[in-house]
């Protein structure tokens, strides 16, 4: 029995195909990922006479983490970024930490003038990219122009660094001053990274730790409640 952490999209491809386009057999007997099976792959698999079963077993959050020194953030709550400001950072429109839009949301931020934002993004297919770009696409479509999915065409400027897997993203954030990136929250919390507070629709600044500590009327924490709502809203193949 072997297990490889290759990313959700690669895992789906290897589960459904033994070679590219051949859905009569897969390279693996099971696979796990943060996103449901791609409908086109599912259709190709069933057309080839095979079947598969989805087994939901875990819910998790994706967080946005950074490495701006805490003393320079200047707020006990931590760094705050609204969806549209985050979108501008992740598409390369905002390139320095002292940009006026970031300062407007973080008036006590005191970074060296012109400090470049070092953006980490996943390479190849990633369910984290699916969730993160889906969030930006939903919350700020006017400023987010890269679309959503397991892969998008990220900027290729020097401020952007492609990384492989959650481990690669964790290493990037840990080893790069003034970095920002998206990562499954468990990895980020385990590494004790600083997490960005995002503004929700009620104009409240929250991060994934806040969501895990909150509960709804049914006793579900915020992550579980959001996952339940998403599962009920979207059909699974």
Q: Which has the minimum average pLDDT: 127-131, 164-168, 225-229?
A: 225-229
Map tokens 């990633």 to a residue: 126
Asked if 84 and 198 touch (Cβ cutoff 8 Å), the reply is no
Return the percentage of the chain with pLDDT > 90, whole number. 65
40 token code pair: 């086109």
pLDDT level of residue 237 (50, 70, 90 thresholds):
low
Asked if 218 and 232 touch (Cβ cutoff 8 Å), the reply is no
pLDDT tens-digit map of 81-106: 999 999 999 999 999 999 999 999 99
pLDDT level of residue 236 (50, 70, 90 thresholds):
low
pLDDT tens-digit map of 181-218: 999 999 999 999 999 999 988 999 999 999 888 888 88
The mean predicted confidence, pLDDT, of the chain is 91
More confident residue, 109 or 4: 109
Asked if 168 and 162 touch (Cβ cutoff 8 Å), the reply is no
Average pLDDT, integer, range 126-137:
92
pLDDT for the residue numbered 233: 76
Strand, helix or coil at 221?
A: strand
More confident residue, 165 or 101: 101
pLDDT for the residue numbered 160: 98
- Does the pLDDT value for residue 231 go beyond 90? no
Asked if 47 and 31 touch (Cβ cutoff 8 Å), the reply is no
Map tokens 């079963």 to a residue: 53
pLDDT for the residue numbered 234: 66
Q: Count the neighbouring beta carbons within 10 Å of the beta carbon of residue 163.
A: 20
210 token code pair: 């806040």
pLDDT tens-digit map of 50-74: 999 888 777 788 999 999 999 999 9
Q: What share of the chain is helix, strand, coil (3-state, %, to 5)?
A: 35, 15, 50
């Amino acid at each position: 029995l072997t297990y490889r952490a290759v990313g959700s999209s690669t895992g789906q491809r290897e589960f459904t195909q033994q070679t590219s386009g051949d859905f009569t057999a897969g390279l693996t007997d099971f696979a796990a990922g943060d996103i449901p099976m791609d409908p086109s792959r599912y259709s190709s698999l069933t057309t080839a006479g095979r079947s598969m079963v989805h087994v939901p077993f875990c819910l998790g959050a994706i967080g946005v983490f950074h490495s701006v020194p805490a003393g320079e953030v200047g707020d006990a709550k931590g760094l705050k970024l609204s969806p549209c400001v985050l979108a501008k950072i992740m598409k390369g429109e905002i390139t320095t930490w002292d940009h006026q839009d970031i300062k407007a949301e973080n008036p006590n931020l005191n970074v060296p003038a012109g400090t470049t934002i070092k953006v980490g993004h996943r390479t190849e297919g990633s369910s984290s990219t699916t969730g993160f770009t889906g969030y930006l696409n939903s919350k700020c479509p006017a400023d987010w122009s890269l679309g959503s999915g397991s892969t998008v065409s990220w900027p290729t400027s020097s401020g952007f660094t492609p990384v492989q897997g959650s481990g690669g993203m964790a290493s990037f954030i840990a080893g790069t001053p003034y970095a920002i990136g998206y990562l499954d929250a468990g990895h980020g919390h385990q590494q004790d990274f600083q997490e960005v507070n995002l503004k929700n629709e009620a104009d409240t600044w929250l991060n994934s730790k806040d969501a895990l500590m909150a509960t709804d009327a049914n006793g579900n924490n915020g992550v579980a409640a959001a996952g339940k709502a998403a599962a009920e809203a979207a059909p699974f193949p």
